[in-house]
Amino acid sequence: MEKPTKEGSVSSFGALMVSTASRVGTGNIIGVSTAICIGGYGAVFWMWIIAILGCSSAFVESTLAQIYKKKDEKGDSYGGPAYYIQAVLKKRWIGVLFCVFLILTYAVGYNLLASYNLQSTFIAFSFYGPKTPFLIGAILAVLFTVCVMGGGKRLTQITGVLVPVMGIMYVAVSLVVIVMNIHILPYVFQRIITDAFDFRAIFGGFSSSALMYGIKRGLYSNEAGMGSAPNAAATADVSHPVKQGLVQMVSVYIDTILICSATALMCLCSGVAPTEALAGAPYVQASLQQALSDFGPVFIAISMALFAFTTLLGNYYYCEGCIKYILKRSPSHRFMVLFQLLAAFIVFLGATVNMELAWNTADLLMAILVLINMPVILKLHNIAINALNDYNRQRKTGANPVFHASDIGLKEKVDFWN
């Protein structure tokens, strides 16, 4: 991946890790488990389809964020959907609406759910009691506060280390379980495909079908098309916007095709049958208990702690840029401290709520955000396609692609690419 040209700028890899930190989280474990237990084997197939479709939307939104990114007083870049909405559509109110719902979705809905999912993994341990969720919530809130008060640069440093490490460890253990039960794998793939196209079951109970749960949990996991990752993509220092658009596509594959598949195949190959009573953390823990004995639940608890924590940090990172857009200026230090404390309180609260409230809140806010962002992507996709054609043209000559706004006839004023 390309190194930044300006010292201290966010690298392409750093921006990828921030977006991957938000994407790769509790949804990759608890979300997949819930989808399989309620929607059945076929939910895995529809997760894969959402990932494939999501790659294109991830490319378009991240490329647009790079083209229309803004320059701050230090010369660094920032941006996201709100900025390309205002630049091209000339409708700031839509940008403000998007920012409001992104903050609600990530600082409230997703962080509430990430905190709940983490504490739910400890139910399997003997020390879990009525006060345990409050204790876990308090510890998580304190650690969250310490990190976010360190600023965006610290967030990229933390996630840049944790995300690759936890991802590699998790996939490695998943592969061990799959290999231990390799004789079951052909049957698992057969059930995934056949159940995915059991249309009688799908239309007989649509809200709890493999199709619906595959779409909901797939979208919750990879976030493609929601407009979140472009906020991180805009901060990267690259020579051509398409480079970061292509990099952000990788994040979707890492999340769904690699890590979600690892969870699904690990659980389904364990020999433990998915049931609605096991939905969530219990199914994953029962599967690993079966395959790896007492090491399994401990490993899942540690994995969830890392997944949830980096998710919380990545989610918060997106909110800072949206606040700046809404206020039309950098918020005061006092305002940000209050926001950080409120975000930390929501993290604490999430550990104490019930499962239905956590999931329903996240699903509702996620749906609204998609309904705002996807029509914008569809309307502006030609700009990203023109940039891709420019990138490919330069690549064919053997040159390192460098972008100029005039090369694709861009009419809107941009802070970079002139």
Each residue of 5-38: pLDDT tens digit?
Answer: 555 456 666 666 655 655 666 777 887 888 888 8
Say what the pLDDT of residue 208 is.
47
Name the band, by pLDDT with cuts 50, 70 and 90, for residue 56.
confident
Express as a percent the part of the chain with pLDDT over 70: 84
Q: Tell me the per-residue pLDDT of 134-160, one tens digit each, with 9 for 90 and over.
A: 999 999 898 888 888 875 555 556 655
CA dist., res. 292 & res. 201, Å (int): 34
pLDDT of residue 205: 46
CA dihedral sign, ordered 35, 38, 44, 46: negative
- Domains, the chain, in order of start with CATH, read 23-408 (1.20.1740.10)
pLDDT in tens, 295-315: 888 888 888 887 777 778 778
Residue 410 in this model has a pLDDT that exceeds 70 = yes
Given a cut of 50, whether residue 204 has pLDDT beyond it is no
Question: Alpha-carbon distance 251 to 13, whole Å?
Answer: 10
**And the tokens for 403?**
């972008």
**Side-chain-side CA neighbours of residue 44 (13 Å):** 27
With 0-12 CB in 10 A as exposed, 13-18 as middle and 19+ as buried, what is 332? exposed
- Among positive and negative, which fits the CA dihedral 199, 200, 205, 208? negative
| Residue of 218 and 254 predicted with greater confidence | 254
What's residue 416's pLDDT?
Answer: 86
CA angle centred on 302, ends 298 and 303, rounded to 5°:
115
Distance CA 98, CA 291 (A): 44
pLDDT-derived band at 333 (thresholds 50, 70, 90) equals confident
